[in-house]
Amino acid sequence: MTFFDFHHHHLQKRFGIYNLSVEESPPNGFFSAGIHPNLSLEVTEEQFVWLEEVSKYKNCVAIGECGLDGLINIDDHIQEELFERQIELANRRKKPLIIHCVRRFSKLIHFQKNAKVPMIIHGFNKRKTIGKDLQKHDFYLSFGKSVLQNVNLQEFVKDFPIEKIFLETDAEDFDLELLYQKVADLKNLKIENLLLQIEENLKTFNIPHLK
């Protein structure tokens, strides 16, 4: 069994989407490319040229991670400009957006109106009310290690539409199979059926599951 890792930072991992760092050379497997909000003050036009070029690669399957972060000491307006440029790029490339969001979920709804591609919030681990609002606005959510420990998050995952779910390790080092098994148990599914559903979800973004 192979467990697709929707968002990860492990270069040697084959089954998943590698989060490419700025100006890093692309890997052979699937990757996403974007400029994180914590780089908003340092970003250069040369880096945007790099992003424009790598986003053309066939195995670049998403733009990101990009988004908004309320914990960093960078003005919201500066972050928003960077985010808007990447939404525009995703629209042109017709590739989904992998979103990093911290304490700015209410603002995402506004930006979603400008996006012509799906938006997936990676590493979602917030309270149920935030999740329900995102569900109402048709966001996809990718869940990580927090599901293994957070009982409130488990309750939310249990009821969240399986057609909108992805699973990831992010930068954590743990056995992704444990997360798949936990989510399968929460949804009263066989793990094989969860794998099939994730594969169907990937097809929505023209991402063929690796065999």
Longest dimension (CA), the chain: 49
**Burial profile 135-156: b = 16 or more Cβ within 10 angstroms, e = fewer:** beeebbbbbbbbbbeeeebbeb
Residue 5 among known ligand-binding residues: no
Domain boundaries, the chain: 5-204
Give the pLDDT of residue 206: 81
Give the pLDDT of residue 51: 98
Give the pLDDT of residue 169: 98
Cβ contact 211:14 at 8 Å: no
What tokens does 77 get?
A: 């307006």
Query: What's the burial of 174, exposed, middle or buried (CB within 10 Å: 0-12/13-18/19+)?
Result: exposed
Q: Return all residues near 126 (Cβ < 8 A) that are at least 6 apart.
A: 105
Domain range 5-204, its CATH number among 3.40.50.300, 3.20.20.140, 3.60.21.10, 2.60.40.10: 3.20.20.140
Query: What's the burial of 5, exposed, middle or buried (CB within 10 Å: 0-12/13-18/19+)?
Result: buried
Query: What tens-digit pLDDT sequence spans the chain (211 residues)?
Result: 889 999 999 998 889 999 999 999 999 999 999 999 999 999 999 999 999 999 999 999 999 999 999 999 999 999 999 999 999 999 999 999 999 999 999 999 899 999 999 999 999 999 999 999 999 999 999 999 999 999 999 999 999 999 999 999 999 999 999 999 999 999 999 999 999 999 999 988 887 655 4
Give the pLDDT of residue 208: 64
- HSE (CB half, 13 Å, CA atoms) of 8? 25
Cβ contact 141:134 at 8 Å: yes
Residue 175 among known ligand-binding residues: no
The pTM score is: 0.96
